[in-house]
């Protein structure tokens, strides 16, 4: 099952950093990457690093990835394509990493003026454990602490009941139905707009 459909997230951010070090995929915007890992019980939210390329290759061989689209990668996913996806398809991204530091999920961030749009996915073996809810809470809380950010948004397909439950548990409110377009495919969908606001938001 698709966890949350990415729609208009930035797709032209660049990886920076020396080989073997953290790879920042926060593109040109007023939203700066976090100074360190964000808290998440039993896991950690961190910037991508080189081990995540191997994880994308591995998940590309998992039939669930193609079926659920929790990661926007092809199946299979060659190493060169995995590197390209980290550079472009994810836009701004944080990795949900387990205790061993391995990729267990992702949260993508797309600045939209005074808002930040999130999209997320969790590896199949780790679903239904509250990880997505906790990750959304942590990332949205961090976003709302950043200058100029008034609200955090999710766009979720109406039939995606699992993601709708996650959004509600994380404190998001469903406000409206929006027609959204997926830039990579040109497809259009009716999505539910979920929003959580900062204390000073409109």
What pTM was estimated for this model as a whole?
A: 0.80
Rg (CA), the chain: 16
Each as own residue / partner, the long-range contacts of residues 32-40 (CB below 8 Å, 24 or more positions apart, any chain) are 32/146, 33/92, 34/94, 34/142, 38/94, 38/138, 38/139, 38/142, 39/138, 40/96, 40/131, 40/134, 40/135, 40/138
Q: How many residues does the structure list for the chain?
A: 202
Lowest mean pLDDT: which of 22-31, 39-48, 82-91, 135-144?
22-31
Q: Where are the alpha helices (DSSP H) in the chain?
A: 51-60, 63-68, 79-87, 131-144, 161-169
Classify the C-alpha dihedral 29-116-183-71 as positive or negative.
positive
Mean pLDDT of 99-106: 91
| Residue 51 dihedral angles phi and psi, to the nearest 5° | -65, -20
DSSP letter at 3 equals: S
Mean pLDDT of 104-127: 91
Can you give the residue ranges of every domain in the chain? 38-147
Mean pLDDT of 94-108: 92
Query: Is residue 159 packed enough to be buried (19+ CB in 10 Å), middle (13-18) or exposed (0-12)?
Result: exposed
Rounded alpha-carbon distances, angstroms, from residue 183 to 7, 8, 19, 194 = 7, 7, 30, 20
- Statement: residue 44 has pLDDT above 60: yes
Mean pLDDT of 76-85: 90
pLDDT reported for residue 21: 40
Higher per-residue confidence, 112 vs 19: 112
Proportion of the chain above pLDDT 90, given as a percent = 51
CB 70 within 8 A of CB 124: yes
pLDDT reported for residue 35: 83
CATH class (in words) of the domain with range 38-147: alpha beta
State both tokens at 165: 């439950």
3-state helix, strand, coil split of the chain in percent (to 5) is: 25, 30, 45
State both tokens at 42: 């039993």
How far is C-alpha 160 from the geometric centre of its chain's CA atoms? 16
Q: What is the C-alpha end-to-end distance of the chain, expressed in Å?
A: 33
């Amino acid at each position: 099952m698709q966890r949350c459909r990415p729609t208009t997230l930035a797709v032209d951010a660049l990886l920076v950093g020396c080989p073997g070090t953290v790879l920042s995929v926060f593109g040109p915007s007023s939203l700066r990457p976090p100074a360190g890992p964000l808290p998440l019980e039993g896991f950690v939210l961190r910037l991508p690093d080189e081990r995540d390329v191997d994880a994308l290759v591995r998940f590309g061989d998992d039939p669930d990835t193609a079926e659920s689209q929790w990661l926007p990668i092809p199946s299979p996913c060659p190493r060169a394509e995995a590197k390209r996806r980290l550079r472009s398809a994810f836009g701004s991204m944080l990795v949900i990493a387990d205790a061993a530091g391995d990729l267990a999920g992702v949260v993508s961030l797309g600045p939209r003026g005074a808002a930040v749009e999130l999209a997320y996915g969790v590896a199949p073996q780790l679903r239904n454990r509250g990880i997505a809810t906790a990750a959304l809470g942590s990332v949205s809380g961090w976003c709302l602490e950043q200058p100029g950010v008034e609200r955090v948004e999710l766009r979720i397909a109406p039939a995606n009941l699992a993601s709708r439950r996650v959004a509600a548990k994380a404190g998001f409110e469903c406000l409206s139905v929006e027609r959204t377009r997926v830039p990579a495919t040109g497809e259009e969908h009716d999505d539910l707009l979920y929003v959580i606001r900062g204390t000073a938001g409109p």
